[in-house]
């Protein structure tokens, strides 16, 4: 069981809580010696992912403040020459309208892999989200960064209800698998106070993005230069929006096209040369996907050099793009931003 909020210390210099097998508390001077032993015994395992310094706790003690905390998880029934299950640094706290913090952590032998660290981390999160006047830190958001290869660490976060929010290339200067230091990629995982306590392995949150890319038949490359044309534009938009591309030419039929879109949990870019007679089919297809056609943006690809009679479907908001000229990266980004923002007014690019 978790301690009730009233059991947590209201002293801003000390935060603590207890569970069935572990106790979580801010660091004290008497923790330095057992911490050295814990880190020393775990050095080989820890070095794969983080720098190892048995003396860093001593350096952290004088830096403790309202917005920078170091916590230790202690085993209530020690089984070694130390009781340190793990360490969690809570730093980069931003108050005001953000109330967010970053969390970094290590688990130590011989307790790693036995569920004690997970219990302690869950206790700590309750402490971090508790109001300050109840002995907590009053946070709204807690984020942890994990290297993509560290499956065990990422799995722990997901089991506690964290959701993956993003990918940061070359985020931290750390030793890699070969022992050489380099700027290494990280994934960010986040949990929010209004989600806590969170169910394990929650479904990812995020917007479902759907956009139709429609064009005049025959609209292709400007002067034979790759980079323009309806199909290329659709592919570039899908990459920028990070959603799948569903093309009528690949799907083989309208039914298959809408079935693919319906099956996608994140939406997609739907590319086809829809004609006016396709409006009813498109409306029914979008409705089968649970979408209101009036809210689905359409990117209309045309060429001012071609005096065609085709027109956009116009079921929802429309952005028109003259792909008779080369469409550059800035154009693709601008269209994607309009699409993602909802594209309320019709516009010309």
pLDDT, position 203: 86
Angle separating helix axes 116-129 and 151-159, nearest 10 degrees: 50
Q: Tokens 């722990």 — which residue?
A: 156
**DSSP run (H or E) holding 23:** strand 22-26
Written out in words, the top-level CATH class of the domain with range 209-348 is alpha beta
- Least confident span in 16-25, 191-200, 220-229, 320-329: 220-229
pLDDT bin (cut points 50, 70, 90) of residue 224 is very low
Has residue 220 got a pLDDT over 80?
Answer: no
Model pTM? 0.81
pLDDT bin (cut points 50, 70, 90) of residue 305 is low
Domain with CATH 3.40.50.300 in the chain: 209-348
What are 141-167's pLDDT values in tens digits?
A: 999 999 999 999 999 999 999 999 999
pLDDT, position 222: 43
Closest CA to 242 of 327, 163, 166: 166
Average pLDDT over residues 276-281: 88
pLDDT, position 237: 94
Ordered alpha helix ranges (H), the chain? 32-46, 56-60, 116-129, 151-159, 230-241, 248-251, 254-263, 279-288, 329-341
Residue 65: count other Cβ atoms within 10 Å of its Cβ: 10
CATH number of 5-195: 3.40.630.30
pLDDT, position 172: 94
Closest CA to 248 of 294, 217, 288, 225: 217
What are 242-271's pLDDT values in tens digits?
A: 999 999 989 989 899 999 999 999 999 999
Tell which wins on pLDDT, 8 or 310: 310
When the pLDDT of each residue in the chain is averaged and rounded to a whole number, the result is 88
What are 127-142's pLDDT values in tens digits?
A: 999 999 999 999 999 9
pLDDT, position 308: 63
Average pLDDT over residues 60-69: 93
Percent of the chain at pLDDT > 90 equals 72
Domain with CATH 3.40.630.30 in the chain: 5-195
Has residue 71 got a pLDDT over 70?
Answer: yes
- Residue 92 CA to residue 294 CA, distance in Å, equals 43
Average pLDDT over residues 169-183: 89
Tell which wins on pLDDT, 291 or 302: 291
Has residue 225 got a pLDDT over 80?
Answer: no
C-alpha distances (whole Å) from 328 to each of 216, 233, 249, 306, 338 are 20, 10, 24, 20, 16
Within 8 A by CB and 6+ apart from 68, the residues are: 90, 91, 93
SS3 content of the chain, % helix, strand, coil (to 5): 30, 30, 40
pLDDT, position 307: 62
Average pLDDT over residues 296-302: 91
Average pLDDT over residues 268-275: 91
DSSP 251-283: H-SHHHHHHHHHH-TTEEEEEE---GGGHHHHH
């Amino acid at each position: 069981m978790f301690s009730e909020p009233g059991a947590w210390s209201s002293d801003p210099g000390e935060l603590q809580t207890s569970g069935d097998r572990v106790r979580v508390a801010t660091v004290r001077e008497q923790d330095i010696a057992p911490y050295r032993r814990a880190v020393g015994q775990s050095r080989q395992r820890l070095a794969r992912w983080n720098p190892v310094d048995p003396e860093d706790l001593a350096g952290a003690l004088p830096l403790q403040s309202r917005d920078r905390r170091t916590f230790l998880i202690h085993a209530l029934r020690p089984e070694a020459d130390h009781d340190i299950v793990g360490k969690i640094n809570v730093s980069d706290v931003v108050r005001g309208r953000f109330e967010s913090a970053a969390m970094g952590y290590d688990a130590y032998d011989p307790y790693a892999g036995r569920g004690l660290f997970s219990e302690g981390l869950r206790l700590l999160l309750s402490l971090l989200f508790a109001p300050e006047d109840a002995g907590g830190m009053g946070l709204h958001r807690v984020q942890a960064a994990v290297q993509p290869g560290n499956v065990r660490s990422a799995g722990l976060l997901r089991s506690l209800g964290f959701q993956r929010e993003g990918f940061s290339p070359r985020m931290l200067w750390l030793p890699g698998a070969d022992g050489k230091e380099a700027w290494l990629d990280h994934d960010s995982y986040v949990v929010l106070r209004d989600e806590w306590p969170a169910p394990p392995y929650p479904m990812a949150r995020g917007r479902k993005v759907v956009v139709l890319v429609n064009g005049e038949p025959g609209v292709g490359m400007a002067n034979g230069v790759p980079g323009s044309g309806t199909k290329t534009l659709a592919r570039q938009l899908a990459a920028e929006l990070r959603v799948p591309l569903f093309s009528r030419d690949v799907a083989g039929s309208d039914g298959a096209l809408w079935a693919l879109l319906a099956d996608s949990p994140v939406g997609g870019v739907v590319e086809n040369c829809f004609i006016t007679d396709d409006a009813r089919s498109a409306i029914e297809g979008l409705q089968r996907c649970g979408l209101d056609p009036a809210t689905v943006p359409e990117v209309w690809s045309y060429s001012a050099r071609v005096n065609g009679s085709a027109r956009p479907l116009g079921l929802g908001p429309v952005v028109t793009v003259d792909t008779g000229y080369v469409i550059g990266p800035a154009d693709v980004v601008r269209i994607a931003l309009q699409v993602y923002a909802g594209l309320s007014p019709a516009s010309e690019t």
